[in-house]
Amino acid sequence: MSDMPPPPPPRNPQSRNPIKGLRDQKPNADGKPAMPKWAIWAIIGAVVVLAFGSQLFTQPTGEKLSYTEFLAQVRNGDVSEVTINNSTNIISGVLDNGSKFTTTGANTLSDADETLLKQMGVNYDYNTPQANFITSLLPIVLPFLFIVAFFMWMQRRAMGQAGSIMSVGRSKAKAYQADKPSTTFADIAGYDGVKLEIKEVVDFLRMPDRFKEIGARVPKGMLLVGPPGTGKTLFARAVAGEAGVGFLSVTGSDFMEMFVGVGASRVRDLFLQARKMGKAIIFIDEIDSIGRKRGAGLGGGHDEREQTLNQLLAEMDGFETSEGIVILAATNRPDILDPALLRPGRFDRQIVVPLPEFEERLAILKVHSRDKRMGTDVDLETMARATPGMSGADLANLVNESALFAVRRNSLNIERIDFENARDRVVMGARRESLVLNAEEKRATAFHEGGHAVLAAVLPHSDPLHKVTILPRGMALGVTWSLPEERHTYSREYFEDLICKAMGGRVAEKIVFGQLNSGAANDLEQATSIARRMVREWGMSDKVGPMAWNGQQQVFLGEDLMTSGREYSDSTAQLLDEEVSRILLEQEQRAHDVLTKHRKGLDLVAEALLRDETIDGPTVGKLIQESLGTAVESELPTA
């Protein structure tokens, strides 16, 4: 790009700045610069020179002679001067021509050799060199120096550990300056309602006087609530980028330590950093880790978490909105938060960030596809309609998976088939190539999935059938996939069709083979869960009536153990179980009746699956029409 800065000039390895090198030294735990490694070797070298330098530099020089040659030179009268070292037994001297020599003799000269020196007029002398002062002190000083160095090293280690302990109470928040969060609302596709709600924070940080003139008070805190992957953290970054203020990002787990009181100290340090920045946004992600209801759970409470929460509540009460500090928090479990945290004056507003609708999914797919090489047959609108219930993170993963499939095909562009394969992998799981079914298992799987597919095609309130396959994917030997229509409320007839369709695989095997196997375990689990919720939560049982008996709340969600038990009598529990069993048995019988009526269609669908392994929804509909000879008849739901 033309607006990018030019690359920095290459570094010259031969021109280094010594001052910069000293400045770049890493500090110790106590904040002082660490001693460079070369300094240690310099100190050792200095000690060696001081200890042995006198001996190294006072070694005699000259021609090396043997003792016999030395005596011959004396007899010839060529030696003028001799010096005998009593410590090393080295004899050095000067010849008549001025050249020097050295030789090694005995501890003492014999009487004959000494008489020879006197007869030849050689000036000789005995020399006993004095011991080096430093050398004589080394045996005493070195052990002392080693002991002192050891204790200094131990002290520095202790100071370093003490420094790390003292810094444990500092906040671990990542600080971004005003120009660092480059994310803006333009980078977030869709969610216009959420942007409108959260835009007040941006306006307040930009134009606080406008709010002061009319007497309005901006909320101190905003809680972003929504399923995982909907972009709550991205919204917080966008607010900081739009407002152009400092941004402190921290997660709830960063406050937790094994020491009681550390989390409260980090909370204080976090708000202190925010005040130093002037106008700032504090973002606490996953606030439910420290904001759970106090005094709840099996153990009664958690001292560290409760102290941290108390400090957070105190800090939120301790500053005014005029200071320019706004707190944003995100969680996907608002039901377990402490009520004191959600009251007005702390988190004044809860902003729901839901799963994206069709238009928002389309915009998200366009954002994540703009830097990809897309083929001409890719229809993002169709893909957006085919991905209900997916979050923004799921859609981003879908686009990335499609790119990976294109690379595996050695294609230069992402085609429609890549999106289809990526969606199948994300929704149904990866295909297990290594799993090979025998003929009997493959035929049973074909009729099992065929039972699901036939019911999905003929039941009036069922979701449209998209695809059915007997290729093992994920943990399943086969998959029948329906595309749910975009809806927000569901009728009793819809759930009855859903249970009936779940029973289709089990019933088809019973009709065709006259026996049952373990392949319907997941179907039964899904059907039982739906039937139980119909009776206990949604009031869809005439005998139970309009009552909700939701006794499935877990203790770890913040409720006390004594209040999370069953709230109804044994007779009511028996009635609930009877109604759940009635719904399941009725829908199983209904599935049996429908599949018996469409037995020819079931056989055709199973044969197509054995032949093609994967067929789509329209193909299933044509096979059922072919078996009937007329249009597909819709089965009316039973009362």
DSSP string, 99-168: -EEEEE--SS--HHHHHHHHHTT-EEEEE-PPPPHHHHHHHHHHHHHHHHHHHHHHHHHHHHHHHHHHGG
Q: Please state at what angle helix 111-119 crosses helix 67-75, rounded to 10 degrees.
A: 40
First to last CA, the chain: 67
Task: Let me know if 449 is a catalytic residue.
Answer: yes
- Distance (Å) of CA 56 to CA 44, 87, 136: 16, 15, 16
The strand order across the sheet containing 614-616 reads 479-482, 465-469, 614-616
CA distance 224 to 238: 13
DSSP label at residue 440: H
What are the two backbone dihedrals, phi and then psi, of residue 225, each rounded to the nearest 5 degrees?
-120, 135
State the helix-helix crossing angle for 599-612 and 570-597, rounded to 10 degrees. 80
User: What is the phi-psi region of residue 433: left when phi exceeds 0, alpha when psi lies from -120 to 50, beta otherwise?
Assistant: alpha
Helices 439-458/599-612 angle, 10° precision: 130
Token duo for residue 618? 């329209």
> How far is the C-alpha of 51 from the C-alpha of 47, rounded, in Å?
6
CA angle 259, 263, 268 (to 5 degrees): 135
Q: By three-state DSSP, how is residue 586 classified?
A: helix
C-alpha pair distances (Å), 555 with each of 252, 278, 355, 616: 21, 42, 27, 44
Cα dihedral across residues 508, 511, 513, 514: positive or negative = positive
d(CA 328, CA 221): 6
Using DSSP's 3-state secondary structure scheme, residue 616 falls into strand
51 three-class SS: helix
Angle between helices 262-276 and 303-317 (to 10 degrees): 30
How far apart CA 331 and CA 539 sit, in angstroms, is 30
Instruction: Map 300-349 to HEC letters.
Output: CCCHHHHHHHHHHHHHHHCCCHHHCEEEEEEECCHHHECHHHHCCCCEEE
- What single letter denotes the amino acid at residue 24? D
For residue 601, the tally of other CB atoms under 10 A from its CB is 24
Handedness of CA 436, 512, 452, 528 (dihedral sign): negative
CB distance 632 to 625 below 8 Å: yes
Catalytic residue among 306, 415, 449, 509, which? 449
The closest of 297, 202, 311 to 266, measured between CA atoms, is 311
Transcribe 17-30 into DSSP letters.
-HHHHHHTPPB-TT
Active site residues per annotation: 449
